[in-house]
Every structure is written in structure tokens, then in C-alpha cells.
Amino acid sequence: MEYFLLFLFTNYQLPLVCYTVLMEPKKRALVITAVVVVIVALSVVFYLIDKAPTPEERTQNELLEKVRQAEAPQKIPTNTLTGTVKGVYGATIDIELTGGSGDPLRFASVLADTKYYLVNTGKLDALGNPTVTSITLASIAAGDSITVTGEGDIGTMKKFDVTEVRKVR
């Protein structure tokens, strides 16, 4: 077979062999299919190579993504909120938040083990810190400034349970 092909190539008989092979319908369909597949594959490869970003474009895209991430507002979870008491209704303290955006009214549910403290900024201890004393829920009234602490991110919650209430005077 090798000698035969060598003979064909040396005698410039290749077009005759191709013509003979292509005359049979099954072989012709197979050859045409193979040629189409090769052309499509090469087209896809060249398209992908053309569309691939250069190293400079990749570096620029990475820097742009880092800038977008840096500029995006970061949500910092908070387990404390500060505001003014609007009312105390049973085991719920209605609080109007100070600062921030959105609806400022929140509802803090106190639990049996919630701790209550009075932070007296007008009376300082020996180190110059405000004095802190224990109080009860009954000591909290509308108009008081309070800071509540809960478990988890209560910063975005409308209703939440609190573990500690600090009344600031």
C-alpha cells in the first residue's frame, strides 16, 4: 500500500485517486462530512482565539472588578441599635432609630432573661467612665434614649428579640 501511494504521488496521479474515491456515493458523503467538520472546527477555534482577552485586557478587567468591589457599599452586620423609646407595650419596646435610612421604627421584644442597665453619663466613676446600674423594664419610658443588643444581625430587622437594654441618661 505504501509503495502504491508513493507511486501515485510521484506520478502525479493523486487527482485521479481523489476522483475515483469521490465517485462512490458513501465515500463522497463521508469525505464531504469530514471536510465540513474540519472547517467548522477551525472556524470555532479562530473565533475563540480572536475573542480571547489579551493579558493587558485581563489585567484591566481584574482591576475594574476590584474597584467595583471597593466602591460597593459594604453591609456591616450589627447586633446593637440606638434610638428613642416611642412606647413600652407589655414585652415590646417601640424604638425610633437615630440616624440611618429607611423606616426608623423598630420593635424590640424583651425576654425573661433580658438585662436592663442605666448608663448615667452625669455621674462618673473613679476612672471617669459613666456609672452603670441595673434597672427593670418598668424604668424605661417613652422619650428615653436606649441602646438595645440582640443576637444576630438586628440592624435590618423590623422586629427582634433583645438580650440587653441600656438606658442612657
Query: Among candidates 136, 102, 106, which has minimal Cα distance to 118?
Result: 136
CB 53 within 8 A of CB 61: yes
How far is it, in rounded angstroms, from Cα 75 to Cα 166? 24
pLDDT digit of tens for each residue in the chain (169 aa)? Answer: 444 445 545 555 555 555 555 567 777 777 788 888 888 888 888 887 777 777 777 788 788 887 777 776 666 668 899 999 999 999 999 999 877 666 789 999 999 999 999 999 888 888 888 899 999 999 999 999 999 999 888 888 899 999 999 999 8
Residue-level pLDDT at 17: 54
Q: Where are the domains of the chain?
A: 2-71, 80-168
Architecture of domain 80-168: Beta Barrel (2.40)
